[in-house]
Structure 1
Amino acid sequence: MTGWIFLVPAAALILWMNFYPMFQALILSLKTGRGTRLNFADPLWFNYERLFSDEIFKLTVGNTFIYLAIQVPIMLVTALVLANLLNDKNLRFKGLWRTAIFLPAAVSLVSYSLVFRTMFANDGFVNDVLLWLNLVDSPINWLGQTDTARFVIILGLLWRWTGYNMVFYLAALQNIDYSSLEAAKIDGAGSFATFWYVTIPQLKPMILLTAIMSTNGTIQLFDESWNLTQGGPAYTSMTMSHYLFEVSFQRNPNFGYGAALSYVILIMVAVLAAVQMKIGDKRD
């Protein structure tokens, strides 16, 4: 009973602060109306049915999965390579390099988004450098074109989160027995073979964890879409969470439809996490 008594306060707070609002959101997703004048829809699944004909939602789903498919693999591979390089016992100034690469993760999401927005403005630093190097004839409208706007968001995500994931891999590398790496070298394995056949297999649990975390974070991506591009041009860089915010709190707020959107995002996160666990976790 003592253990349960200690658990009750935390469990009660989780139920009250997490699960009760989730249940309320589920009920809300079955209602229609504007503002606080909400009534149960007819049929109850009307908001979910509406999603299939919402072209903007389909576009934001496509945008989000573009970010997911491009940014997450590049970020995790880069973080893994950097962690392996910075784990070298003979590397000088390891603390300095690790801190420098991790620092972007300590920067406020809003602050770094505004800095990137300024850098990639028509009269920003990036265009000034490209013009100075004669690589372009006129400034590029980075944030006003679909492909370049998406590129800026992906670049911002890579800058912000690569060092964060690198720290997880560094922590996992500390638990690898160095003798196994030495044995591989004695057997004639080169640096790449040692990394691929000895290091990577021992990092699989951490790779799975970072893949799930990065996937979930990307599907729920909001800050970069909101602060960097405002979802433009014409919704072509907007994420699902950004659209959820717009539906719920801008123009003509529709809380019922917004709640339905939030549950669709939740289902996507859960399904992708389950798939990754099924594929990546080979433990008996």
Structure 2
Amino acid sequence: MLIFTVYPVLSSFILSFQEVRGIEKTFVGFSNYTRLFQDPVFYKSLLNTFQLLIIQVPTMVSLALLIAVGLHSSMVKGRTLFRIAFFMPAITALIAASIVFMILLDEHFGLVNYFLSLFGIEGIKWLTSPFWAKASVILVMTWRWTGYNMVIFLAGLQNIPSDLYEAASIDGAGKVKQFFWITIPQLKPVFIFTVVMSTIGTLQLFDEPFILTAGGPNNATTTITLYLYETGFKYFEFGYASAIAYVLVLITAIISWIQMKLVGDDDK
């Protein structure tokens, strides 16, 4: 804990107040933080991250819940097979998956645009248009993590007492009412966990935009974490990168706290 957690945290915090040139470190006070809030690329990456967050997290959590409810039903045959199929993307190597999506979404030779052409639809610039590049990143994220959250929802559904549904059926409540008045309230702790963890994961999003679009076009898919990486390991401005990291930590903590307050129990 001291070597691999405490020391890096303290060291990077001190580094955020320094300027690094080669092996020399110079104390610059709050200059890195002052520069940060005057940096248009930082604001662009922040906007990109929040756009992905607002669209992707609700979409993914909603899909995960619906799939979990469907696969929890005894009416579905081969449930185990479907559960494995939906969960497989979460354990697939991201580089391999990203290469597959790059081939599928290629503007000129991609399979997706080929199918669109069969219906007379002009090919879409999936990875070179700012709008569609964001949509592609959201698509890959949703494909990868929906099954992971589905498993968490399945665990929550299996812990709901069947007596509640039986009592509701006796009182005349249909499946829709049971879903909104029993399933959703009983899954509240699971909702809190999946939303908070998905939010933290999206705020730290790096792999998908790095591999698929490299942050382009024109920084349209550059996230905070990707900008942090480029600042530190491409331009070797480690002090400035550390400042970005701590602002990201603060943003993540604030948003997580707000979410916990909004959807948490009132008596806590």
TM-score (norm 1): 0.91
CA distance in 2, matches of 1:182, 1:36: 69
- Kindly provide the CA deviation profile for residues 116-155 of structure 1, in whole angstroms up to 9, marking residues without a partner as x: 111111121111111122122xx32211110000000000
Q: Which residue does 1:93 correspond to in 2?
A: 78
- Kindly provide the CA deviation profile for residues 38-70 of structure 1, in whole angstroms up to 9, marking residues without a partner as x: 2000xx111111111100010000000001000
CA distance in 2, matches of 1:133, 1:69: 31
Per the TM alignment, residue 34 of structure 1 is displaced from its structure 2 partner at its CA by: 3.0
Among 28, 33, 36, which residue is 1:48 paired with?
A: 33
Moved over 6 A (4+): none
Per the TM alignment, residue 112 of structure 1 is displaced from its structure 2 partner at its CA by: 1.1
Q: What is the aligned-residue RMSD (CA, Å)?
A: 1.1
Residue segments in structure 1 that go unaligned for 5+ positions in a row: 1-13
CA distance in 2, matches of 1:144, 1:233: 6
CA distance in 2, matches of 1:192, 1:113: 38
Q: Which residue does 2:233 correspond to in 1?
A: 249
Deviates more, 1:156-165 or 1:118-127: 118-127
Q: Which residue does 1:80 correspond to in 2?
A: 65
Among 90, 93, 97, which residue is 1:108 paired with?
A: 93
Among 41, 47, 59, which residue is 2:44 paired with?
A: 59
CA distance in 2, matches of 1:220, 1:35: 28
Residue segments in structure 2 that go unaligned for 5+ positions in a row: none
Task: List aligned pairs for 1:170-189, cutoff 5 A.
Answer: 170-189=154-173
SS at match of 1:33: strand
Of all paired residues, the percent bearing the same amino acid is: 42
Q: Which residue does 2:21 correspond to in 1?
A: 34
Q: Which residue does 1:200 correspond to in 2?
A: 184
One-letter amino acid matched to 1:21: P
Q: Which residue does 1:124 correspond to in 2?
A: 110
Per the TM alignment, residue 283 of structure 1 is displaced from its structure 2 partner at its CA by: 5.4
Among 125, 132, 135, which residue is 2:121 paired with?
A: 135
Per the TM alignment, residue 85 of structure 1 is displaced from its structure 2 partner at its CA by: 1.1
1:157 and 2:150 aligned: no
One-letter amino acid matched to 2:104: M
Confirm or deny: 8 A CA contact 1:35 1:254 kept in the other structure: no
Q: Which residue does 1:281 correspond to in 2?
A: 264
CA distance in 2, matches of 1:182, 1:85: 18
Q: Which residue does 1:16 correspond to in 2?
A: 3
One-letter amino acid matched to 1:282: D
Among 1, 25, 44, which residue is 2:12 paired with?
A: 25
